Structure 1
């Protein structure tokens, strides 16, 4: 050996994620670690595209490791619409390609519409038209059942019509429009569809756009007019059909079918056939979508197909087909070329593939490498996610050679030298001062002893300076004061109720994010203040949610609050009790507000009039909702409320100054509140839903603009008068 060997690694091992998959209809991902390391929980975040602002975090789920486990599963509970937008999972706080798992159409959960030609409740459940379809779809799609109009209103990806014979003109038009827009319509034969063919002239259907082929009358059955000697088996699937690669069991047989009219286009429209060559499944394009027909029933009356696993696989392929026009089974795409669209870098970030070289599809069945990095590949019109950890891949710990020492990066702490360097700088400054005085002749000879004593005193002061005085160890209050003085910061009053305080802090966080996105104001992280101990002068707005149990402020706190309002600060009182306003007197929160403000030097208040600056500081508003609607907002009363409006002014000339107090009851903070990941913390009560939350955000923007710009907006109402005076 040439010398000692040391293996240097990070303090904590980097986790990894396997490719996501659907388990019992829910999106899951397995987190991995290299070896047992006690109990631990990772946060797995799901990202995807939003209609409003592009990529965003859509949800998160915990992955909890048992003490001796190396795998932990994260299961996401997301609405179908959000779940289908997920295109990337990542371990929160870890920047690594292995900690990112890309999602493709293979894990999208689809919505299927089911329509039966039989009457509701007709027959036994286990032999109904839809029973086997429900079972086949249970793991891959969400089912919606009902009439055609009801099903189409749910925006399904696929619509299954089980033995639906004739439809009304309105239903046919709706189905045709939906299919031409890209939908997949799958029909199943049965007695009703057969009777529809029998009733038409010539014993066959006319050109029906909702059928892929023209049907012959009568059909064929074992022992019938066009009899089989025995039930027919399913022929092997052709390689150019969506069912390519599936294996038809020999025990799947067909005893009756509805026949297609023979024509030159029939072979090109056949996706599956029986041993004698007659079609089992046919399909044809219709606009941007497709129409497919199973020539047997959706139950086991005409065949054993619905009883087999093949039926489930065929329905699964059709659901995949509805996603992007091509099946995502890599085996079915064998022989094709995978073209890279976006590739993951070492930090888990997707970047354009640029000059990356295409690879055969079969290469994606092996682990990634330089010739095929992880990322998103396009194969035959379908996008395939190729992850660093596919299938059952696992993390294996690196075993260092025997006798190697193990070290970690960042294990040794830094030695603070700031206070020693400051003392040295003061010593040099003192020496320089004495030397300058001596060289300039300003220091008497007999004063040298005094100079020496002065220098010794300065040195003693420098060395005696406590280490706590260094800038790196500023007290928390001083650090927060410094941050708040350099950046606009909003604060809320601590109430002692953890739930209310969490919503108040989250509300200011959410409002700050909206202001950053929509205005030139970029607030910092909001603060929580204790009225008894914290300075208030750094915060232009102080949000004060009212709870019945809050203690009455002390005399010192009252003095501090009065000084804050006289210095230009604004206190927003929110009693949060609008939902309790039933005309039965003051609520506990309103009574608490009166108690808490009894000794404050408050100005006279009035309900905000329709022309108040709050209604137009940024957005034009007529109401100020929060988590609740209604209620009045109280502001400082105008000096002369009876003054007439100025000639030519659209609003009364009010609010030359900013009201130091705004009082409401609709719980604004709860409507604004988001957590650190941007997820809403509280629902909005009211029928308007998202619109109400949006209007609450708009009021928050107006409130901040009003507090920061003062009478800027109210000056606009004087423009006609000012122009007139300038003209004189």
Structure 2
């Protein structure tokens, strides 16, 4: 059984019209003045005639009451009466209204605010103290006060671009017993179950879940001819199409839509991916991607330097016209691996340094010109990737000194571990260790090494080795030089000493070394010593807002910090780099919330508010029809055809068979 706690009105000021009903009664009951009597001899001729039209000298009281009911029904109906249900549960004296206020609520935020205000108004009419809590902007001390205070706080609340993350243990111990009305997003988040258990210890908890279905954008990847866009949704079950708008800056600095991309979720998929072809110039101007029709920070993806195609220079030291087999050229496989995802730069080392590329690759280059300039470029953040070969091995044999642009000192000559002139078999690769950038990459059994240059043993050699052969000898070594790094593959860049360059592992290793893309530039180990300043902060709806002066954040700390009020999503600036921190990462999933059985979910069985305005207007219309019929009957006009028409209409609305019978009688 449903119990109703109160009756409200959307326009209560119209009820003032009810006070005018007595005046209407007086006006209708007013009697006109008596006529002046005159003697007229011709009246005798009218004696004996019957007057078929009867006019009452005074309006009957019941007709006046009927007309008063018509006016009352119109006034009450236009005032918008609403019958609100009484809340279920323990009905304790205090009520806590909870809004999560995260990016998952942004698309339905206005509706949640209105629902929260309605609950607060009902509690205020019952005289219950109310407190308001936004989980993404919690108060230190909750206070139960008048409903008007909570209403003002709800109206001023805005969704934030992070999920609730806080230890709620002991937060409500001093508040005593209270009921909780929680307006929740459909998304699960860490700590929600613990918060529910804490609230259940103080009273009943009822949850009104939003009907929104969030969609988020995952990191954007640079493709061969454009970008790769991926999106994730919360629940499967039906096919769904998504449109992503690609926004960028025009030459005047105004953000415009550059292109739109369409992707589709199948009925079973939670993730969708599409590739968009974009010219290099257009891709470098992309500022953000937005899922059309979805208002949340997760549906917006800010871009930074990582989306741009890196510029890479490959130098071999050869001055000939490369006569001979192209497959044996030192840079052939490097060019094949890098050209789809990077812009390759040609020229001498001096020309390349002026272009300031993202990486420089030396394929079996023994003598480096402009060595000091190259070292300065690496120290400022560049990546130098070197490959061994016969020339590098011969140079070490002659010089027997360590090159400052090599990560380790090399042993003179080389090592042959397989082939016709060796007793041993080709060596395979060890699994990558956990503290190396290659950790997690699968090692194919078919990758083998037949020759290599060896590193000179030393006390610090192990700290520079990031890949080994099966017998433990170094295959790849690395050393930090200032803000940059120097990496050496102890094999050739072609298939002369190894088949590594023609394997898929080779491309993955280049990605991990930041040669392809620049994702590693924002890893904690690459951000040591850097400081980042937040310049634009993203709100819960995905809009960017300028921020004032804020303290800088250490790069290593920022890379490991989650999105929160202290480290929000947005654009960060550090020296000559931009860093876009977004809501979702590559492995993010949108998990729907699950609630304990003790929580009452407000759904189809919920006693809802009833609007009675239409019923009162319909009742007033019925009374008006009855007034018209009664007035015709009193005046003697409700006869013959009029009476038959009214009767036929009534019979038609009641029973078709009776209506047909009535029509037959009328014809007879």
In the superposition, the TM-score normalised over structure 1's length comes to 0.42
Kindly indicate whether structure 1 or structure 2 has the higher relative contact order, using CA contacts under 8 Å at least 6 residues apart: 2
Rg comparison, structure with higher value: 2
In the superposition, the TM-score normalised over structure 2's length comes to 0.46
